[in-house]
Chain A
């Protein structure tokens, strides 16, 4: 266990080494958040409701996006494809480290740092604009919210790990192709807007994918717009997806690592 904690620490140090990179990235996240926030603020400037969302609800949703993005949608397993291609991965494989645990430790460092900064940034905005956030009225809501967030964290981790591991076989996977997955993912996970304001037929299709459970569903729970029955259903489906990607990433990883030696040029 200690060695993984060490990895977390080293990841932190890495970030501080590349201070400028880190700051710029935080700045960009902040700007994205601001843009989204102002966008919706502007939309609601002349109305109180959009479909089934009150003003405070949607704005809370936006704040929720910023918060959840930093926790759920951030993963260092991106580095994995780079390392596979460069051959650096050999170094890692040679060490007595469990692959998944290693990457998860790195992610942990990532997320801790993120949460810290995000809270600060959001706090700043709220302090300036002083508008009321929607807080759940039922205490049990917090529990379900937290549960789904934790499931989401792991689900995203396994999804992105799977995508990165594919690099073992397709050495032409470029950052752009991976980016394709990311864009897809961000829209469908509800990281820009609540999914259910889209036409019904589209929403139904999106629900067939694992993505909405990352950001959209937890926030729906927070906003208390799901019935108890729906909440249970959502959690279960998320769990199924999680297990699926977990097995998939393990299996692909093992297959890929076996053939890896023959690779690398």
Chain B
């Protein structure tokens, strides 16, 4: 609808005013990823394989995960917290728009600017590791990877939205949000493939939705799962999306009721 397109447009314009920040972050990410990859190179050294991954696969994994991270990222949690705590939410729910949808579209609106810069950052990183990348030529996988990334975005957005709702019940902001973010990052395979973890962790990871945010799409790309398993996995992604959607909706409504009951 036109209204939400107007939201996207203004979000995009707003993001443009931050382009300097995006450059800084992009550079930051470039440097961080580079250093991180060097460490892994040293660790692999002569070795060969860790957790079923070769060095090229690990390097490709980490670059891919970084890119996916930027595609699916959302600041919904932070904005919800800000709106709740400042009382701005009061103004925003009196606008003839669906607040959750606004959050969703705003998350998307900043992406074009951000992704362009980050893409170059990761491209630069890839240049340092030219000989050591895995470029997939496996057709079904090339198709299935983007699909799983779309669902990964949905899962990430819903988790983020839920995290933001915590602010309805707590006074402190960073604490709970930071904990969820750290757990999410670890169990989505952001720092290292899940298969590098001790078996106990892997079991836990498989029960959480986070593994489908980054680890799973990369597995598809690297061809580490068969087509059947990939499709099953996407099915599980859909399952999580549905579960999280209803959960988020319930929590949001409950939180809103509390907010209005107490009022700010």
List A residues at the B interface (Cβ < 8 Å).
Answer: 18, 20-21, 24-25, 27-28, 31, 35, 39, 42-43, 50-51, 174, 176-177, 180, 183-184, 187, 193, 197-199, 202
**Which residues between 10 and 31 of chain B lie within 8 Å of chain A, taking CB atoms?**
21, 24-25, 28, 31
- Of the four ranges (under 10, 10 to 19, 20 to 34, 35 or more), the interface on chain B belongs to 20 to 34
The 6 closest A-B pairs by CB, nearest first: A24-B175, A197-B42, A180-B28, A198-B38, A21-B172, A180-B24
CB contacts (< 8 Å) of A177 on chain B: these are: 21, 24
**Which residues between 27 and 59 of chain B lie within 8 Å of chain A, taking CB atoms?**
28, 31-32, 35, 38-39, 42-43, 45
B96 at interface (Cβ–Cβ under 8 A)? no
Question: With the chains together, A99 CA to B198 CA distance in Å?
Answer: 49
**Would B42 and A51 count as touching, CB distance under 8 A?**
yes
Known contacts A35-B186, A197-B42; decide if A24 and B28 are in contact (CB<8 Å).
Answer: no
**Would A193 and B39 count as touching, CB distance under 8 A?**
yes
B176 at interface (Cβ–Cβ under 8 A)? yes
Mask: chain B, 194-226; 1 = CB below 8 Å from A; 0 = not: 001010000000000000000000000000000
**Would B178 and A24 count as touching, CB distance under 8 A?**
yes
Consensus secondary structure, chain B interface: helix
**Would B178 and A28 count as touching, CB distance under 8 A?**
yes
Question: With the chains together, A170 CA to B24 CA distance in Å?
Answer: 15
B182 at interface (Cβ–Cβ under 8 A)? yes
Q: Which of B32, B43, B175 contacts A50 (CB 8 A)?
A: B43
**Would B182 and A31 count as touching, CB distance under 8 A?**
yes
CB contacts (< 8 Å) of A18 on chain B: these are: 172
Known contacts A35-B186, A198-B35; decide if A20 and B28 are in contact (CB<8 Å).
Answer: no
Contacts beyond the supplied A21-B174, A24-B172, A24-B178: 17 A-B pairs with Cβ under 8 Å: A21-B172, A24-B175, A24-B179, A25-B175, A43-B43, A50-B42, A174-B21, A180-B24, A180-B25, A180-B28, A183-B32, A184-B28, A187-B32, A187-B35, A197-B39, A197-B42, A198-B39
**Would A21 and B43 count as touching, CB distance under 8 A?**
no
**Would A187 and B179 count as touching, CB distance under 8 A?**
no
CB contacts (< 8 Å) of B24 on chain A: these are: 177, 180
Question: With the chains together, A202 CA to B38 CA distance in Å?
Answer: 10
**Would A176 and B25 count as touching, CB distance under 8 A?**
yes
**Would A184 and B31 count as touching, CB distance under 8 A?**
yes
Query: Can you report 17 residue pairs joining A to B where beta carbons are below 8 Å apart?
Result: A20-B171, A21-B172, A24-B179, A28-B179, A35-B186, A39-B192, A42-B198, A50-B43, A176-B25, A183-B32, A187-B35, A198-B35, A198-B38, A198-B39, A198-B42, A202-B35, A202-B38
CB contacts (< 8 Å) of B198 on chain A: these are: 42
**Would A24 and B174 count as touching, CB distance under 8 A?**
yes
Q: Which of A176, A197, A202 contacts B21 (CB 8 A)?
A: A176
Question: With the chains together, A197 CA to B37 CA distance in Å?
Answer: 12
Question: With the chains together, A184 CA to B24 CA distance in Å?
Answer: 11
CB contacts (< 8 Å) of A39 on chain B: these are: 192
Question: With the chains together, A28 CA to B179 CA distance in Å?
Answer: 7
CB contacts (< 8 Å) of A43 on chain B: these are: 43
Question: With the chains together, A12 CA to B179 CA distance in Å?
Answer: 24
State the Cβ distance, B78 to closest chain A Cβ, in Å: 11
**Would A28 and B25 count as touching, CB distance under 8 A?**
no
State the Cβ distance, A39 to closest chain B Cβ, in Å: 8
**Which residues between 169 and 196 of chain B lie within 8 Å of chain A, taking CB atoms?**
171-172, 174-176, 178-179, 182, 186, 192, 196
Mask: chain B, 85-122; 1 = CB below 8 Å from A; 0 = not: 00000000000000000000000000000000000000
Mask: chain B, 144-155; 1 = CB below 8 Å from A; 0 = not: 000000000000
**Would A20 and B35 count as touching, CB distance under 8 A?**
no
Question: With the chains together, A198 CA to B43 CA distance in Å?
Answer: 11
State the Cβ distance, B101 to closest chain A Cβ, in Å: 26
CB contacts (< 8 Å) of A176 on chain B: these are: 21, 25
State the Cβ distance, B184 to closest chain A Cβ, in Å: 13
Known contacts A20-B172, A20-B175, A21-B172; decide if A183 and B28 are in contact (CB<8 Å).
Answer: yes
Question: With the chains together, A27 CA to B179 CA distance in Å?
Answer: 9
Mask: chain B, 244-259; 1 = CB below 8 Å from A; 0 = not: 0000000000000000
CB contacts (< 8 Å) of B25 on chain A: these are: 176, 180
